[in-house]
Chains A and B, each alone.
Chain A
Amino acid sequence: MAKNIFKKILLSAPAFFLLAVVIVTVAAPWISPYDPDSQDLLNRLQGPSLAHLLGTDSLGRDTLSRVLHGGQFSLSVALITTLFALLVGTVLGLLSAVRGGWLDELFLRVNDLLLALPEIVIALLIIAVMGPGFFTMVLSVGVVAWTPTARLVRSMAAQALSTHHVEASKHVGASRWFILRHHVLPFVAGPVLAQAALRFGLLLVLLGSLSYLGIGVQPPQSDWGSMLAEAQPHAIRSPWGLIAPGAAIFLVSFCVTLLGNRITHVLGGDDVLATETKAEAHD
């Protein structure tokens, strides 16, 4: 059964595409055709050619090599932020569902407020206070990013806790921890994982926007967002500088979303976008 589910999810076009992206990004130092930082001022802003498959940027650097290397930063910062949000959201959501009472009430109020806040403004504020950097990026977005996960975990866990078999295991003396591990977590895991995939896609775009604004990744390091910012002034002469990193962000984000959607479908849910709990911010 479980094996079958994994097969259905993993044997799909988006999954293969993502795997390929991860492989080429990790292998970027070995497979990029050029050093991403080496300049060739005689060949600036070239279109795609055999020598430079995606053209060159305003300093004559190879766009393909820069996309591959930039992916390392973009993907890792999005991944770590997603994991951070997943961890915090799951712990707080479970706590809220299990303990209930004033803790739950407090949780709902804080969650409501954070859900309504524009994430990017919060991120701007935190970066302004702490200065830019990899972990500031994670933290600045993570502060708000855990809320949809927490809400989903809370409502799923509450649902699981109210079932008859949980009631039954309580009566035969199962500990709270045992119930959580055997009855709640397996029930919560699937939808939360699907939502995490969607969150990853959204966070990839959001974190890219911080770099685009110049407050994310700092030179000499670069990522897809900062590449877009660098390419924009030269877009009239060379739109490829915009298309390549833009398409990278779009395709990765699109494929994880599709993957997340596949998970919900296999589990019998409706649409992964519906788990983005902006939808049920007020129940």
Chain B
Amino acid sequence: MLLSSFAVFLVPFVSPGEPVRSLLRARMDIGAADEATVQAYAQQFGLHDPMLVQFGRWLGRFVTGDMGISHISGTPVADQVLPAIAVTLSLAGSALLVAIAVSIVLGVISATRAGSWPDRLITSVTHALIAIPEYALAPLLVLLFAVRWSLLPSAGFDSPASLVLPVFILALRPISFFTVAVRSGVRQALDSEHVLAARARGLSSTQALVRHVVPHGLLPLWTMVGVWFAGLLGGSVIVEVIFAIPGMGRLIFDAIVDADIPVAQGGVVVVVACAVLTTGIIDLVHKLSDPNVRIGVRHG
């Protein structure tokens, strides 16, 4: 845990590069950035101090909620990051809920009818889904649903309808990985002895499925959901850019394009912190929920 938090702090530490130069490159032509201007800016933002001093100062302020001032807009970074993280949380959360629901259905169908045509179809589809470049699919769907049929808004983040396409696209890749996880988990559970015992006690196959197989078979899914949740928090860059959604991914992307280092740092650190936090929580939940892990037996 100590180690991972150290690595977290290393990320923004290595990112500044040449702050002043890139800042000026963003605001004016490189040629116009004479030495005096550079010095003035550097003085203003305290960028002359040794890196470690800057790092310590920044870290100290960061933990108290002061993430610095945006180089571009001059407003506090926290004021930009907090609304953005709320937007992304709802986006990633909805996408994961959709993915979980779809993958449980698909995974259970696929596992209980292994080798049949529905199983083969589902397997093919899951392999196809991960290969879709969302930056090609998204504009095409916008073209169909927003332009041709006028069913859904093409971009923005103001109504439930505006969430449909982004959530759908974000859910595609998790659906494939989740489905495979559910499928293998359920198949393993189907073969396990306590399911056989339940059947022997006289439970019908449906009862055994609902009560014993599915809950047990979903264990690998929950681990995955955590990892994906963390990943989606910043990984929705593409979808947020395409659909003009004011979330974390877009904030970080814009900040990097504009060389707005405080915003980029703040955003990335928040995303990383969320990632570490979620993996920690999942680890804990996993330990508490699985008796094998709880008593220290390794999962086969």
Partner of B135 from A112, A212, A279 at Cβ < 8 Å: A212
Q: Is B95 interfacial (CB-CB < 8 Å)?
A: no
A125-B256, A243-B140, A279-B177 are contacts. A271–B123 as well, Cβ < 8 Å?
yes
Contact with A along B286-300 (1 / 0, CB 8 A): 100000000000110
In the complex the two chains form, what is the Cα distance from A245 to B136 in whole Å?
8
A106-B3, A212-B135, A235-B139 are contacts. A118–B279 as well, Cβ < 8 Å?
no
Evaluate contact between A128 and B299: CB separation under 8 angstroms: no
Evaluate contact between A279 and B17: CB separation under 8 angstroms: no
In the complex the two chains form, what is the Cα distance from A112 to B282 in whole Å?
12
Partner of B133 from A236, A250, A261, A279 at Cβ < 8 Å: A250
Number of interchain pairs (Cβ within 8 Å) = 187
Contact with B along A87-128 (1 / 0, CB 8 A): 000000000000000000010011011011111111011011
Q: Is B72 interfacial (CB-CB < 8 Å)?
A: no
Residues of A with C-beta under 8 A to B7: 109-110, 113
Interface residues on A, range: 35 or more
A273-B127, A280-B223 are contacts. A242–B136 as well, Cβ < 8 Å?
yes
Residues of B with C-beta under 8 A to A258: 127
Q: Is B98 interfacial (CB-CB < 8 Å)?
A: no
Evaluate contact between B224 and A113: CB separation under 8 angstroms: no
Q: Is A165 interfacial (CB-CB < 8 Å)?
A: no
Evaluate contact between A205 and B131: CB separation under 8 angstroms: yes
Contact with A along B218-236 (1 / 0, CB 8 A): 0010011001101111110
Of the 9-residue stretches B78-86, B195-203, B268-276, which lies at the interface with chain A? B268-276
In the complex the two chains form, what is the Cα distance from A249 to B238 in whole Å?
16
Evaluate contact between B135 and A110: CB separation under 8 angstroms: no
Q: Is A208 interfacial (CB-CB < 8 Å)?
A: yes
Q: Is B128 interfacial (CB-CB < 8 Å)?
A: yes
In the complex the two chains form, what is the Cα distance from A265 to B87 in whole Å?
41
Partner of A109 from B4, B17, B234, B252 at Cβ < 8 Å: B4
B129 to chain A: closest residue by CB? A254
Interface residues on B, range: 35 or more
Evaluate contact between B140 and A118: CB separation under 8 angstroms: no
Give the residues from 95 to 140 in chain B that come closer than 8 angstroms, CB to CB, to chain A.
123, 126-128, 130-137, 139-140
B286 to chain A: closest residue by CB? A282
A128-B256, A271-B123, A273-B126 are contacts. A116–B230 as well, Cβ < 8 Å?
yes
Q: Is B283 interfacial (CB-CB < 8 Å)?
A: yes
In the complex the two chains form, what is the Cα distance from A161 to B127 in whole Å?
32
Residues of B with C-beta under 8 A to A261: 127
B241 to chain A: closest residue by CB? A213
The prevalent SS among residues of A at the interface is helix
Partner of B131 from A253, A271, A281 at Cβ < 8 Å: A253
Q: Is A209 interfacial (CB-CB < 8 Å)?
A: yes
Evaluate contact between A118 and B231: CB separation under 8 angstroms: yes
Q: Is B247 interfacial (CB-CB < 8 Å)?
A: no
Residues of A with C-beta under 8 A to B133: 205, 208-209, 212, 224-225, 228, 246, 249-250, 253
Residues of B with C-beta under 8 A to A254: 127-128, 131
Partner of A283 from B130, B259, B298 at Cβ < 8 Å: B298
Evaluate contact between A121 and B271: CB separation under 8 angstroms: yes
Shortest distance from the beta carbon of B255 to any chain A beta carbon, whole Å: 9
Shortest distance from the beta carbon of B73 to any chain A beta carbon, whole Å: 18
A249-B136, A278-B177 are contacts. A121–B235 as well, Cβ < 8 Å?
yes
In the complex the two chains form, what is the Cα distance from A130 to B271 in whole Å?
21
In the complex the two chains form, what is the Cα distance from A118 to B239 in whole Å?
14
Q: Is A274 interfacial (CB-CB < 8 Å)?
A: yes
Partner of A128 from B130, B136, B249, B264 at Cβ < 8 Å: B264
Evaluate contact between A116 and B278: CB separation under 8 angstroms: yes
Q: Is B253 interfacial (CB-CB < 8 Å)?
A: yes
Give the residues from 185 to 243 in chain A that come closer than 8 angstroms, CB to CB, to chain B.
198, 201-202, 205, 208-209, 212-215, 224-225, 228-229, 232, 235-236, 239, 242-243
* Between-chain CB contacts (< 8 Å), 8 pairs: A113-B275, A201-B130, A209-B238, A214-B257, A254-B128, A271-B123, A273-B127, A283-B298
Q: Which residues of A contact B (CB under 8 A)?
A: 106, 109-110, 112-113, 115-122, 124-125, 127-130, 198, 201-202, 205, 208-209, 212-215, 224-225, 228-229, 232, 235-236, 239, 242-243, 245-247, 249-251, 253-254, 257-258, 261, 270-271, 273-274, 276, 278-283
